[in-house]
Structure 1
Amino acid sequence: MVAFDDLMAFQRETEALAQVMGRLGWDQETMMPKGAAQQRADEMGALESVLHARRTDSRVGDWLAAVDEGALDDVGRAQIRHIRRSHARAVRLPDTLSAQLARVTSRAQGIWAEARAADDVAHFLPVLTEVVRLKREEAAALADGRDLYDALLDDYEPGATAEGIGAMFDRMRPRLVDLRERIMGSARTPAALSGNFPAEGQMVLAREVASHFGYDWRHGRLDRSVHPFTSGSGTDVRITTRVDTAEPLGCLYSTLHEVGHGAYEQGIDPAFRLTPLGQGVSMGVHESQSRIYENQLGRSRAFCGWLFGRMGEVFGQAGAGDADAFYAAVNRVHSGHIRTEADEVHYNLHIMLRFDLERELIAGRLEVADLEEAWNARFAADFGVAVDRPANGVLQDVHWSVGLFGYFPTYTLGNVYAGCLYTALRAAVPSLDNDLARGHAEPATAWLRDHVQRHGGLSEPAATIERACGFAPHEGPLLDYLDAKFGALYDL
């Protein structure tokens, strides 16, 4: 056990340093002075060099070889599985490439924010070209003869492949398109919310909603950023949201989405902190938590009834005439440009667009110079409307600027997992609708914490969902849920 103990002590220090790097990223998006961008890029590059050196340290390989896995319990074997996988990936990457990626993506993030604000694609394309070049190099170093995109995808959803995800998307797309077309042909046309909703009130209500869904303020905080995100794990888990005084749902549901991520990290067994098991097992499972909080729970008729009342109390009006109109507005289906504001019917079509484009970019079949044109053509074909400006098109997401290629498909995987979990949750918590009608999601969070969140990285992603639900994950429950919900809303 000496080798195992030495390995875990070393790993805890590595995990702690990774948390520090995450905090630097949080600060960059929330509080860092604009003029500090270049220095922060150098800081991130230097810290990434330290982390890469630790992850490739020859002692890690020696300890792994010396560990007697037969003498370990399930937790110990899971720790070794994660460390072995991480070490195998790290040793394939040159230190200079890891540091360069950290520096370039840190700088690219600031350039992306400037370009998005100015609707200036040309300002962003040169640094994005650098990022894509480096990610292609990374994929080639990691692939070991496999598909380049799969090598990147493995960072976010171990065991998943582009071929498997693509096949699932092909099964989903016809039902999603058919549902969308039937909705668009319906005589029902719910109105969007209207009115002015001051930022202070939105943040007050966002914090209240977060509390009702179990977010632990002793170990977290809520701030504002250009693109909402969650950072950290264990006892320091931070979330952000955004505010538009004409559109309060963006703030509230972005907050709920991030609360799902934050509650997952806060809910992991404390014994796993600063170990490979002390964080979400994959981004697909992570998204299952954020999406079930945001959609199946937060956009339910029961919770919307409670939220309608609180909107009236906080703002003096809710932007809709009654609770039914409010519920319809929250779930209104329309071909909008922005992924994070998309309804549940269109959302996965947004993901499929990005998945296909980034696969082409990594494979070299699409170049960055042609990306905007490809995006706009695909969007018009999929959504039936033209992209009106770059901030509503190719510049809308932060992901590519920070090198997150392979991340996007996990959003739809998360929706699929959430569909499965919701089926199991409703069977296990018969009081769910009554709880949500009172604004209380704590019983739902308690079930999710017990069945998913507390386990962290103990099992592989699909096994985590199967254990929670009692059946292997598949897209059927999600598609059935969407058909039932929007069929009722639009009288289909």
Structure 2
Amino acid sequence: MSALGDLLAFQRETEALGQVMGRLGWDQETMMPRGAALQRGEEMAALEGVLHARRTDPRVGEWLEHATPGTEAEAAQLRLIAHSYTRACRVPGDLAAEIARVTSVSQGKWAAARKADDLAGFLPVLGQVIDLRRAEAAALADGGDAYDALLDGYEPGITGAEIAALFDRMRPGLVDLRAALRDAPPAPVLTGHFPRAGQLALAQEVAEVFGYDLTRGRIDEAVHPFSSGSFNDVRITTRIDEAEPLGCIYSTIHEVGHAGYEQNIAQDFGLSVLGQGVSMGVHESQSRIYENQLGRSPAFCHWLFGRMRDHFGPLSVNSPEEFARAVNRVAAGYIRTEADEVHYNLHIMLRFDLERALIGGDLALGDLEAAWNDRFAADFGIAVDRPANGVLQDVHWPVGLFGYFPTYSLGNVYAGCLHGALRDARPGLDQDLAKGDLAPALGWLRDNLQTHGGLRTPRATVEHATGAPVQEAALLGYLEAKYRALYGI
């Protein structure tokens, strides 16, 4: 075989092993018995060692040097493999394995600490994770900015300084809109009892309406909903509260957005570096446009209102219009995953600033809770009542995902751009959504973005789909128009 053929065959096996690693993580959060946590940590460390050895194999460097691409897809694969190879070679194998072991164990300890509100007992474990990620960041940065080095693993081509500038531009508009809505009459609240079986049945129905192929996926429950896998095995999770069904429905739609992206990538790209979402920001753009611009649109709420009544009987809201206002109710709250669209990015800005300071050494671990609580009170106007509603609420830091949080807001910005282009292309979108017909919208997203996988860089992926530069103005304009209309201001 040629150097290119040898490299791509080797990479396919590496990608397959990476999927096995992901399946271990899925199992850990859904079905693994609690007593298996330490053993799972050893298993994850062992497999990470195998993967790291493959990712740093000297033959990869030799193949890259001699490989000649013949197509755009081959050139993109060489670019992505070279990027991954450079990063992997900078991280010692024993450090990569230790990170896998410690973060696997940390995840279980975080879940217990969150349930018990035991931040003090968890801080030593979190300190280990931070120290390991700092060591990794120093190796990756090679003299550059440590936080940028971690961010590059989730959103290549952007820096922490660029994100900080973006957030500075977004914050005033979000704060002004929040203030205007706070003075408006409050939206109704959906109340009642919504049995678990009914929620699961409706979640599956909605997942299929949003294009989720259950022959290549499944829906399970988890403490923190997530999507896992790629190609032809893409699994999602949701969570259920019998007093609050919207959390189940919209976490399902959100994760279906991630899963739909993976399932719709061209089959020719499967088990290659192109056969997965190009970045976490672009991935998040799919989950957010599914959940918010489509799923929370007043038009789709008209259809969902009928299905809610079919599953649960009469509701505490009496019309599709009231239901849409309840679905899009704006209120300051503790939990990021339950935040409305107006507050959501403020949650991300808080986490971005704190994690950047933690990695940079500007914030001591012992000061993290106070820093979180002070910032939260300033941004949201309410005091954090317990760690589970504050610094312990997210799984990201316990499992070492420093640099991940800002990609959520990047995803919102990308989704705003995509939504504008989608409406230009599909002028009858609201009529489709009101009938529960997502096919035209999903087809546009599939053809213009999802099928291309990792073919282009993150920003180029969005700009290719929309035909315009990425700008936050589209998101801010969408939020202004939607919420001022819903609240009549």
Q: TM-score, normalised by structure 2?
A: 0.99
Q: Does 1:293 align with 2:290?
A: yes
State the alpha-carbon separation in 2 of the partners of residues 194 and 32 from structure 1.
34
Determine the structure 2 residue equivalent to 1:33: 33
C-alpha contact (below 8 Å) 1:225/1:240 kept by paired residues: yes
Aligned counterpart in structure 2 of residue 432 of structure 1, from 418, 429, 435: 429
Q: Does 1:185 align with 2:183?
A: yes
Determine the structure 2 residue equivalent to 1:174: 172
State the alpha-carbon separation in 1 of the partners of residues 187 and 66 from structure 2.
64
SS at match of 1:237: strand
Give how far 1:137 is off. Answer: 0.3
Give how far 1:61 is off. Answer: 0.4
Q: Does 1:220 align with 2:217?
A: yes
Determine the structure 2 residue equivalent to 1:158: 156
State the alpha-carbon separation in 2 of the partners of residues 280 and 323 from structure 1.
35
Of 357-366 and 434-443, deviating more is: 434-443
Q: How does 1:80-95 map to 2 (within 5 A)?
A: 80-95=78-93
SS at match of 1:223: strand
Give how far 1:98 is off. Answer: 0.2
Q: How does 1:109-258 map to 2 (within 5 A)?
A: 109-186=107-184, 188-258=185-255
State the alpha-carbon separation in 2 of the partners of residues 196 and 368 from structure 1.
41
Could you tell me which amino acid in structure 1 is paired with residue 349 of structure 2? M
State the alpha-carbon separation in 2 of the partners of residues 143 and 293 from structure 1.
35
Cα deviations across residues 413-437 of structure 1 (Å, max 9, x unaligned)? Answer: 0000000000000111122111111
Q: Does 1:100 align with 2:90?
A: no
Q: TM-score, normalised by structure 1?
A: 0.99
In structure 2, the gaps of 5 or more residues are none
Give how far 1:14 is off. Answer: 0.3
In structure 1, the gaps of 5 or more residues are none
State the alpha-carbon separation in 1 of the partners of residues 121 and 249 from structure 2.
31
Could you tell me which amino acid in structure 2 is paired with residue 124 of structure 1? F
Give how far 1:454 is off. Answer: 0.3
Q: Does 1:16 align with 2:24?
A: no
Q: Does 1:63 align with 2:60?
A: no
State the alpha-carbon separation in 2 of the partners of residues 249 and 183 from structure 1.
21
SS at match of 2:331: coil
Give how far 1:123 is off. Answer: 2.0
Determine the structure 2 residue equivalent to 1:7: 7
Of 189-198 and 317-326, deviating more is: 317-326
State the alpha-carbon separation in 2 of the partners of residues 448 and 123 from structure 1.
45
Give how far 1:145 is off. Answer: 2.0
State the alpha-carbon separation in 2 of the partners of residues 241 and 210 from structure 1.
11
Cα deviations across residues 320-360 of structure 1 (Å, max 9, x unaligned)? Answer: 12211111110000001100000000000000000000000
Determine the structure 2 residue equivalent to 1:365: 362
Could you tell me which amino acid in structure 2 is paired with residue 14 of structure 1? T
Q: Does 1:344 align with 2:345?
A: no
Give how far 1:6 is off. Answer: 0.2
Aligned counterpart in structure 2 of residue 460 of structure 1, from 436, 457, 472: 457
SS at match of 2:218: strand
C-alpha contact (below 8 Å) 1:111/1:123 kept by paired residues: no
Identity rate, percent: 66
Give how far 1:319 is off. Answer: 3.3
Give how far 1:191 is off. Answer: 2.1
Q: Does 1:485 align with 2:482?
A: yes
State the alpha-carbon separation in 2 of the partners of residues 484 and 322 from structure 1.
21
State the alpha-carbon separation in 2 of the partners of residues 150 and 184 from structure 1.
36
Cα deviations across residues 14-55 of structure 1 (Å, max 9, x unaligned)? Answer: 000000000000000000000000000000000000000000
State the alpha-carbon separation in 1 of the partners of residues 253 and 270 from structure 2.
24
State the alpha-carbon separation in 1 of the partners of residues 364 and 40 from structure 2.
28
State the alpha-carbon separation in 2 of the partners of residues 260 and 374 from structure 1.
33
Determine the structure 1 residue equivalent to 2:444: 447
Could you tell me which amino acid in structure 2 is paired with residue 43 of structure 1? E
